[in-house]
Amino acid sequence: MQIVLRVASAASVLLLTVGAAPVSATPVPAASASSPPPVPSPSPSLALTPSARPPATASGSPKPAVTPVKPRPVQAAAAARPVFRHRTLPVTRTALGRTYRPGCPVPPQRLRLLRMSHWGFDGKVHTGEMIVNERVAKDVLYVFGKAFAAKFPIRKMRPVSAYNGSDHASMADDNTSAFNCRQVVGNPGRLSQHSYGDAIDINTVENPYVDWSGRVHPAAGARHLDRWRRTKGMIRSGDVLTRAFRAVGWEWGGRWSNPDYQHFSRNGR
């Protein structure tokens, strides 16, 4: 019969066998009063601080951070920037109305209707019409293309047929025009260069004509005889119009002894 006794002490635990050979005792070390209790190793934490935790999507996976993009202003004005548009069309005898009569130096088939963009006094783009000799059509489009690029304003641009061929009525309406088979205003014995379709009058009120007798045409243009007082639509030496006409070989009547500030012509008459 074997009896096992367990004797506990502060130093060791002994196992004794009764009626059998003695069994060696293995001492179990006790905790020393001077040794501190063991501190458990901290397990790594999976928690994220609020600033480091990415937002979660509906499925639980982190959502990538999105940086808001500031919208850029739409450049609507640049996208809709006006351009100079033009067309060159044939002219019929009927369309000329009273600006043409038998015996005029240029027949209708040698004239062209120019339909082109121009800036108005209201700051908006308009479409005007002008009848010129076919041989100067390209030169005229060049000049008014330059005027458009510089935003030079033109009050009106209509064929003189809209005024029943009356140059006086056209000038009084501040109209810009070219062909009109007629005599020179203030000099009825001489055929005007406008009869050939290679002379142009521009903004007639702001740029009046002073005839040999000193009369101003149109009468409303008298307030613009002082050329140092700049006003909208006024033609001045060295401006975009005088430079453009000079580039195509035309001359300006503003330099005449009896100035015709509105007038440009291919041959200087």
Domain of residue 172 covers 82-265
The mean pLDDT value of the chain amounts to 82
Among candidates 246, 126, 123, 248, which has minimal Cα distance to 175?
126
Let me know if residue 244 belongs to a domain: yes
| pLDDT tens digits for range 222-248 | 999 999 999 999 999 999 999 999 999
Let me know if residue 224 belongs to a domain: yes
**Model confidence at 148, in pLDDT bands (50, 70, 90)?**
very high
| pLDDT tens digits for range 70-87 | 656 555 545 578 999 999
Query: Could you count the other beta carbons within 10 Å of the beta carbon of residue 233?
Result: 20
Number of structural domains found in the chain: 1
Let me know if residue 49 belongs to a domain: no
Q: State the Cα–Cα distance between residues 91 and 110, nearest whole angstrom.
A: 8
pTM over 0.85: no
Let me know if residue 61 belongs to a domain: no
- The two structure tokens encoding residue 142: 């060049």
Q: Are 157 and 143 in contact (CB under 8 A)?
A: no
Compute CA distances 215 → 102, 128, 224, 228, 246, whole Å. Answer: 30, 29, 14, 20, 28
